Homo-oligomer: A and B are copies of this chain.
């Protein structure tokens, strides 16, 4: 049968509200369903169809595409278009959405799940965790917050619980600015923005400054979450080993060669290595930054958690040229569930951040912001800090003693003067991943050093958090760690000095 006859009879109505391709599809549908075009019939190529019906090729393509979506025809590549078998046309199967084809490209999915796992592991089984960097829940000032909420009930007004400015609840912005002024910050409330944890501050920095391919300098080792964030933005990371002091020559070299967008740095109680950058080094860094107009992102979640002497002024407080963006949070001082942090930056940067944050969530939680304002106004933060400093100092000393007793000399550690972590290195011949494996058996967890490096370093290092648990549990955790260490040391297969890369086939 000459199927072109079918098409010769077709009358199309160009001015109809029904598009032409739809009219064509309907004619074909009728002919398929009434059996004039049985299953297996070869249909004319699109070009020929267009010519037969005197329509554009696009219209012909759309007509076929529609029939294909309805399961009435199918195309064999290199062969042609055919009428489909009836079963699939009469009873179209339930369509499912091909979700994974619809998603935007996902970068670095694997590494980005590490933080989530750490967060999830907080509620794990009887393993003692030295991994997650959280304050001790027993020390959360829950009583004070509860009392304040009670007091607020008569004082809160609708405006406080409606929409508030994206930049933050105005009284809290003021209170945080005052709190930071006591630390030497020179800014006005307009320079302070409230965000949903310093995580969101970092997200805003990334979104506003980084385009794919941009360079970012990070310390090596550095905060896991920052590396993940920058990597997910497709930024290129330049590692700056800072444990023995910032190598300013290398830094300047980077600045000139790569013109990086940002330098992400934790000058005070660095995570993971606990280092405090000396005042003179801070000044040198800022001098260099000013010269090259480098933007510094200073992350300082632990600055108030010092156990010996007060650390030097922050980079932001010393900033001579206005190029430092400071990130802070109440998560480590009080508790993470507040989801409240801040960004301090020039107003033009804050404005840009606010524009972005508006899209993300309009503004951060009013409840947390109102409560924090009351908490700060009542001077309770300083009282609380005095309590936790004293307690964490005790734990630090206790932890150092326990490590000395149960883990030395297989494990070398650096005792921090503040913050949450002991940064440790295994003796030569042992690898952290061996220890991690053993530790799951003895019931203790920690973060392996590799998580803190943008490159493949850290294979003998590990980070231990000493604040989250009371001494009795810390002791038990260290004992378990020591046991795992002994096992690894006894069985160690003396791995090769240089890592061997086994290709995955």
Chain B hits for A208, CB < 8 A: 103-104
Q: Are A161 and B359 in contact (CB under 8 A)?
A: no
Q: Are B358 and A339 in contact (CB under 8 A)?
A: no
Q: Are A257 and B62 in contact (CB under 8 A)?
A: yes
Q: Does A3 contact B (CB under 8 A)?
A: no
Q: Which segment, of A152-160, A184-192, A299-307, A402-410, faces chain B?
A: A152-160
How many copies the complex holds: the figure is 2
Complex CA gap A249/B26 in Å reads: 13
Chain B hits for A109, CB < 8 A: 355
Q: Are A159 and B146 in contact (CB under 8 A)?
A: no
Nearest residue, chain B, Cβ from A63: B256
Chain B hits for A365, CB < 8 A: 196, 337-339, 364-365, 367-368
Interface size on A, residues (CB 8 A): 106
Contact with B along A84-104 (1 / 0, CB 8 A): 000000001011111110111
Tell me the dominant secondary structure on chain A's binding face: helix
Nearest residue, chain B, Cβ from A252: B22
Q: Does A127 contact B (CB under 8 A)?
A: no
Q: Are B119 and A335 in contact (CB under 8 A)?
A: no
Chain B hits for A256, CB < 8 A: 21-22, 62, 65-66, 69
With both chains docked as a complex, state the minimum distance between the C-beta of A195 and any C-beta of chain B, in angstroms: 8
Complex CA gap A256/B26 in Å reads: 14
Chain B hits for A346, CB < 8 A: 97, 99
Q: Does A142 contact B (CB under 8 A)?
A: yes
Q: A112-B355, A321-B96 are in contact. Are A134 and B119 (CB under 8 A)?
A: no
Q: A200-B360, A371-B367 are in contact. Are A69 and B292 (CB under 8 A)?
A: yes
Q: Are B359 and A229 in contact (CB under 8 A)?
A: yes
* Besides the known contacts A62-B256, A92-B291, A146-B149, 8 further A-B residue pairs in the complex with CB atoms under 8 A apart: A22-B249, A69-B292, A99-B346, A104-B207, A116-B358, A137-B158, A232-B359, A367-B371
18 chain-A/chain-B pairs, Cβ below 8 angstroms: A17-B249, A69-B292, A98-B293, A102-B261, A104-B209, A112-B355, A119-B165, A122-B162, A134-B162, A136-B158, A146-B152, A149-B149, A158-B335, A164-B337, A197-B362, A361-B361, A365-B365, A367-B367
Give the interface of A toward B (CB within 8 A).
17-19, 21-22, 62, 65-66, 69-70, 92, 94-100, 102-104, 106, 109, 112-113, 115-116, 119-120, 122-123, 132, 134, 136-138, 140, 142-143, 146, 149-150, 152-153, 156-166, 196-197, 199-200, 203, 207-211, 228-229, 232, 249, 252-253, 256-257, 261, 290-293, 295, 320-323, 335-339, 346, 348-349, 352, 354-355, 358-368, 371
